[in-house]
């Protein structure tokens, strides 16, 4: 690029120089013409001067001829002076200084011509005077007889002495010719005494010499400039051709280097292709094999001589592939499209192996196919590994299904007797008046609740591991999470002598969207740990609005305690399952070691993050950030934002009583617990031992509420619920009653037509809360049923 710019610059300079040279030559031409033209009048003047100088009375030329020659010289000079104004080219090319010189020359020539004319006149006078004196002398010599007078006359003419100075005879003196002779001699002396000829001669020489020298100097100056400019032009042209030659040489060297590099690359590629681990073969544009590398020979057992010239189907052993697929494959190659596929081949010795084949058409610059390059990779081990992985995955899937089935079964089997234990304990607690016995029952309930907590923790962790935990997003006020925390842990902290501080900076009117139970579970787990490991001091909770790193709306929760703290070397493992702050913690404080692992995994599922800072012996601080959308929908009603258990705690005992409730439960203890919960609220109950019996009773009697267990003989609860909704068309509120805590089981119940799902072990507060939530619907159905029965009675009357 740089050389190209230099070449263009040189071309511009050469062009300008050529123009300058042309102008110089054009200018030199008129200067030469002027020089030659001015030489002619100068020569004429000098010739005239010479002629005048040698003029005598015997010349054949007359005075007029000499005068005419001088006039011609003057006219010639005048013409040359006026020529510049007549010719536009001379006007632009002849400089002002040259014009000035021409003007002076013309003026000088005019003066010289004038002087020469005067000189000519004097020469004529002189010549005629001398001739007259000669004639007079000759006549006097012939007329005078006296020898002495002749001698004196001769002396008079030769020495130019006057007559009075010579002593002549009277005869000579009285002669008229002798009398005229002195006058002519005086005239000759007067003409000879004038220095005009000398001055004119000097002026002519100086003026004409100076004039000629000026035009010669001008011509020589132009020639010198022309020479220098031409020399500069030749240098530029030489430099231009040098640069062109240099560029050409550089291009040639570059091409040679590229060719050498290309040859080296080809040699390297040839070595790579020859000794590559993958099998490589090349086909011509007709699809016939022309070359193979060593790996191909090793993979297939064939040499080039064995398969040279064979087509692609023969090389790849495509005889087992459908003919239509082969045609599609070949058509793709013909269109210049690369293809890849996997297939089995046989070694020359019959051994079966898998290959991954990639075929790429190599195109010419015009787009035509030049040849094909095919690369085969032995994937036999990969296929064997994939087969093993599939079998292992199937085995793991079977194992996971067995694990899930086991956990579901264990959950059901553990929750079923736990339901009886906790249910009966709650019933007995309300009937015992003795404080000691009440305390014992209270301990029994606490132990049962702790067992239920551990069971839920294990099940939650199992569901998270299997990616079966699903979030249920709903609208809620954040205060609905904070209030249960306060109600639960304020008294716990007071009993332990700890300060329980809550700093809430979240607007109570803001409506969030998220999984409220899971958020509450995270906070409960963190506070539970704080209470467990803090023996004195305080536990502080901070709630505030924040933004995530991506600019999303979020809630920041900080739980700070003054407990035992966590050792630094265990901080990075604190969120791993089965890891606790100390190895002795499990024995000293209890727990499964899954609480913080569940917190971390739930936080990750919610796209949040959690961090911890701790100092051993001074306490810990957990910082939790959860992205939560903020809805602009209408404000929630108070009861809509509360869980059933919270509603029951925040409301007065429900006034609704005398409901007719059908309990479908095969386990007598669980049926008895549900029955006694209903009876304690003033409701009437009928027990059905399975789904079929429940359907039969519904055909005979109207009920205000149905409590339906899941796992029952003859007919399970889900099928019974579906029949009630679809065949019997009964819209009575149905509470599903199951020990299965997996979401899928709950969804199946709700899909069948249940209105709400109660989880075993049944807590009395949860049961009351559920009835409170649906009391309006139950009362409305009860009124509708009463009106229908009343109409029937009136009709029968």
pLDDT at 321 over 70: no
Token pair of 30 as six digits: 């008129």
Cβ burial, residue 153 (10 Å; 0-12/13-18/19+) = buried
Which residues in 669-678 are b (16+ Cβ under 10 Å) and which e? ebbbbbbbbb
Percentage of the residues of the chain whose pLDDT score is greater than 90? 16
Q: What is the CATH number of the domain that holds 304?
A: 3.30.450.20
Same domain, 425 and 476: no
Would 326 be classed as within a structural domain?
Answer: yes
Tell me if residue 703 falls in helix, strand or coil.
coil
Listed residue (768, 708, 709, 761) closest to 733, CA to CA = 708
Q: Is residue 91 part of a domain?
A: yes
| pLDDT higher at 713 or 651 | 713
Is a pLDDT exceeding 70 seen at residue 65? Answer: no
Q: Is 693 within the bounds of a domain?
A: yes
Choosing from 438, 462, 486, the residue where a domain stops is 462
Of 183, 211, 239, which residue is a domain's last? 211
Q: Is residue 89 part of a domain?
A: yes
Give a yes or no: residue 720 inside a domain: yes
552 phi/psi in degrees, rounded to 5: -85, 150
Considering the domain architecture, whether residues 615 and 585 belong to the same structural domain is answered as: yes
Residue 345's domain spans which residues?
276-378
The confidence band for 637, taking pLDDT boundaries of 50, 70 and 90, is: very low
Residue 510: give its domain's CATH number: 3.30.565.10
φ/ψ bin of 287: left (φ > 0), alpha (ψ from -120 to 50), beta (otherwise): left
Nearest to 706 by CA among 666, 735, 748, 749: 735
> What's the confidence (pLDDT) of residue 709?
92
Count of domains forming the chain: 5
Q: For residue 151, what are the CA distances in angstroms to 141, 144, 156?
A: 9, 10, 9
Exposed (0-12), middle (13-18) or buried (19+): which is 236, by Cβ within 10 Å? buried
Cα 665 to Cα 676: distance, rounded to the nearest angstrom:
14
Q: Which structure tokens are listed for 652? A: 């007065």
Task: Judge if 91 and 113 occupy the same domain.
Answer: yes
Instruction: Spell out the SS3 assignment of 158-224.
Output: HHCCCHHHCCCCHHHHCCHHHHHHHHHHHHHHHHHCCCHHHHHHHHHHHHHHHHHHHHHHHHHHHHH
Same-domain check for residues 564 and 661 = no
- Confirm if 185 and 160 have CB atoms less than 8 A apart: yes
Q: Give the pLDDT score at 687.
A: 94
**pLDDT at res. 796:** 46
Whether residue 347 is found in the same domain as residue 416: no
Verify that 89 and 202 share a domain, yes or no: yes
Which of 56-60, 340-344, 398-402 is predicted with the least confidence, judged by mean pLDDT? 56-60
Q: Omega before 761 cis (within 30°)?
A: yes
Residue 767 maps to a domain: yes
C-alpha 609/C-alpha 626 separation (Å) is 7
Strand partners, 561: 539
Q: 138 with 16, same domain? A: yes
Residue 636 has pLDDT above 60, yes or no: no
Same domain, 713 and 566: no
- Residue range 533-544, pLDDT digits in tens: 899 999 999 999
SS (H, E, C) 135-156: HHHHHHHHHCCCHHHHHHHHHH
Helices (H) and strands (E) in the chain, counts: 26, 18
pLDDT for the residue 689: 93
Phi and psi at 627, nearest 5°, equal -70, 125
Alpha carbon 535 to its chain's center: 58
Residues belonging to the chain:
797
pLDDT at position 541 is 94
* Residue 361 β-bridge partners: 372
Same domain for 548 and 584: yes
Q: Which of 328, 352, 378 is the last residue of a domain?
A: 378
348 CB-near residues (< 8 Å, 6+ apart)? 300, 301, 302
**673 and 759 belong to one structural domain:** yes
Given a contact cutoff of 8 angstroms between Cβ atoms, the answer to whether 687 and 678 are in contact is no
Model pLDDT for residues 403-436, shown as the tens digit of each residue? 766 766 776 677 778 777 877 888 887 778 788 8
Name the residue among 117, 156, 124 with its Cα closest to residue 140. 156
Question: For 79-115, how does the pLDDT look when each residue is reduced to its tens digit (9 = 90+)?
Answer: 655 655 555 555 555 666 665 666 566 666 666 667 6
Residue 699 lies in a domain: yes
Mean pLDDT, the chain, integer: 77
195 and 294 part of one domain: no
- The pLDDT-based confidence of 555 (bands split at 50, 70, 90) is very high
Look at residue 230 and tell me whether its pLDDT is greater than 90: no
Question: Residue 373: inside a domain, yes or no?
Answer: yes
Most confidently predicted of 250-259, 413-422, 460-469:
250-259
Distance of CA 51 to the CA centre of its chain: 99
Residue 544: the pLDDT is 93
Helix H, strand E, coil C: the string for 673-694 is HHHHHHHHCCCEEEEECCHHHH
**Cα–Cα distance for residue pair 654/643, rounded to 1 Å:** 16
CA distance 284 to 86: 84
CATH number at 746 reads: 3.40.50.2300
CA distances from 647 to 260, 419, 653, 770, 774 (A): 87, 22, 10, 9, 12
Q: How confident is the model at residue 205 (pLDDT cuts 50, 70, 90)?
A: low
Nearest Cα to Cα of residue 422 among 767, 772, 770:
767
Residue 634 confidence (pLDDT) above 50: no
- Backbone angles phi and psi of 473, in degrees to 5: -85, 135
The C-alpha atoms of residue 589 and residue 573 are separated, in whole angstroms, by 19
Provide the pLDDT for residue 587: 45
Q: Tell me, what's the pLDDT at 115? A: 65
Query: Closest Cα to residue 211, out of 101, 298, 289?
Result: 101
| Residue 275: predicted pLDDT | 79
Residues 548 and 685 in one domain: no
């Amino acid at each position: 690029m740089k050389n190209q710019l230099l070449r263009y610059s040189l071309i511009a300079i050469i062009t300008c120089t050529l123009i300058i040279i042309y102008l110089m030559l054009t200018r030199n031409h008129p200067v030469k013409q002027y020089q030659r033209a001015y030489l002619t009048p100068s020569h004429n003047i000098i010739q005239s001067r010479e002629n005048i100088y040698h003029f005598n009375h015997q010349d054949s030329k007359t005075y007029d001829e000499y005068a005419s020659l001088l006039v011609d010289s003057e006219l010639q000079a005048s013409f040359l002076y006026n020529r510049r104004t007549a010719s536009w080219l001379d006007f632009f090319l002849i400089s002002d200084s040259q014009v000035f010189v021409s003007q002076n020359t013309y003026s000088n020539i005019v003066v010289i011509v004038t002087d020469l004319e005067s000189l000519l006149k004097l020469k004529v006078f002189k010549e005629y005077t001398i001739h007259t004196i000669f004639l007079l002398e000759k006549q006097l010599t012939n007329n005078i007889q006296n020898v002495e007078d002749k001698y004196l006359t001769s002396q008079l003419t030769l020495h130019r002495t006057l007559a009075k100075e010579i002593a002549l005879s009277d005869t000579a003196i009285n002669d008229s010719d002798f009398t005229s002779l002195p006058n002519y001699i005086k005239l000759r002396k007067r003409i000879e005494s004038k220095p005009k000829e000398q001055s004119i001669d000097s002026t002519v020489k100086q003026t004409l010499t100076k004039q000629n020298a000026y035009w010669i100097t001008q011509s020589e100056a132009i020639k010198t400039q022309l020479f220098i400019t031409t020399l500069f032009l030749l240098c530029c042209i030489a430099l231009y051709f040098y640069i062109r030659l240099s560029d050409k040489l550089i291009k040639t060297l570059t091409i040679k280097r590229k060719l050498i590099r290309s040859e080296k690359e080809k040699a390297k590629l040839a070595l790579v292709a020859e000794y590559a681990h993958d099998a490589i073969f090349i086909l011509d544009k007709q699809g016939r094999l022309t070359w193979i590398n060593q790996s191909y020979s090793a993979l297939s057992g064939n040499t080039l001589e064995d398969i040279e010239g064979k087509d692609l189907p023969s090389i790849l052993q495509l005889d087992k592939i459908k003919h239509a697929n082969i045609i599609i494959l070949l058509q793709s190659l013909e269109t210049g499209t690369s293809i890849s596929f996997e297939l089995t081949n046989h070694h020359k010795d019959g051994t079966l192996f898998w290959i991954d084949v990639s075929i790429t058409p190599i195109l010419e610059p015009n787009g035509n196919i030049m040849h094909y390059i095919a690369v085969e990779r032995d994937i036999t081990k990969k296929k064997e590994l994939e087969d093993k992985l599939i079998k292992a995955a199937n085995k793991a899937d079977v194992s996971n299904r067995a694990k899930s089935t086991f956990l579901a079964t264990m959950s059901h089997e553990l929750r079923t007797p736990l339901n009886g234990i906790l249910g009966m304990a709650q019933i007995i607690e309300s009937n015992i008046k003795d404080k000691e016995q009440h305390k014992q029952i209270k301990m029994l309930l606490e132990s049962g609740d702790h067992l239920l907590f551990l069971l839920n923790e294990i099940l939650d962790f199992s569901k998270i591991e299997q990616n079966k935990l699903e979030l249920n997003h709903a609208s809620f006020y954040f205060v609905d999470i904070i209030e249960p925390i306060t109600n639960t842990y304020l008294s716990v902290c007071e009993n332990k002598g700890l300060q329980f501080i809550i700093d809430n900076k979240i607007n109570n009117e803001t409506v969030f969207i998220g999984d409220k139970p899971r958020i509450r579970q995270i906070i409960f787990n963190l506070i539970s740990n704080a209470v467990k490991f803090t023996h004195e001091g305080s536990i502080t909770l901070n709630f505030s609005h924040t933004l995530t790193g991506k600019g999303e709306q979020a809630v920041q929760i900080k739980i700070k305690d003054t407990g035992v703290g966590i050792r630094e070397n265990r901080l990075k493992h604190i969120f791993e399952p089965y890891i606790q702050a100390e190895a002795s913690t499990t024995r000293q404080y209890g727990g499964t070691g899954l609480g913080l692992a569940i917190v971390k995994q739930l936080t990750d599922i919610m796209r949040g993050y959690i961090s911890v800072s701790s100092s051993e012996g001074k306490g810990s601080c957990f910082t939790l950030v959860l992205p939560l959308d903020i809805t602009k929908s209408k404000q929630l009603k108070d009861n809509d934002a509360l869980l059933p258990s919270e509603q029951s705690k925040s409301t007065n005992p429900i006034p609704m009583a005398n409901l007719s409730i059908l309990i479908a439960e095969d386990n007598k203890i669980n049926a008895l617990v549900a029955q006694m919960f209903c009876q304690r609220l003033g409701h009437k109950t009928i027990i059905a031992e399975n789904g079929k019996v429940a359907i039969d009773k519904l055909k005979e009697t109207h009920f205000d509420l149905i409590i339906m267990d899941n796992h029952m003989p003859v007919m399970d609860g889900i099928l019974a619920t579906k029949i009630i909704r679809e065949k019997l068309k009964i819209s009575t509120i149905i509470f599903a009653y199951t020990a299965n805590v997996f979401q899928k089981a709950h969804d199946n119940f709700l899909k069948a037509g249940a209105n709400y799902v109660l989880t075993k072990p049944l807590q009395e507060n949860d049961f009351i809360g559920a009835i409170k939530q649906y009391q309006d619907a139950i009362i409305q159905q009860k009124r509708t049923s009463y009106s229908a029965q009343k109409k029937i009675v009136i009709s029968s009357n």
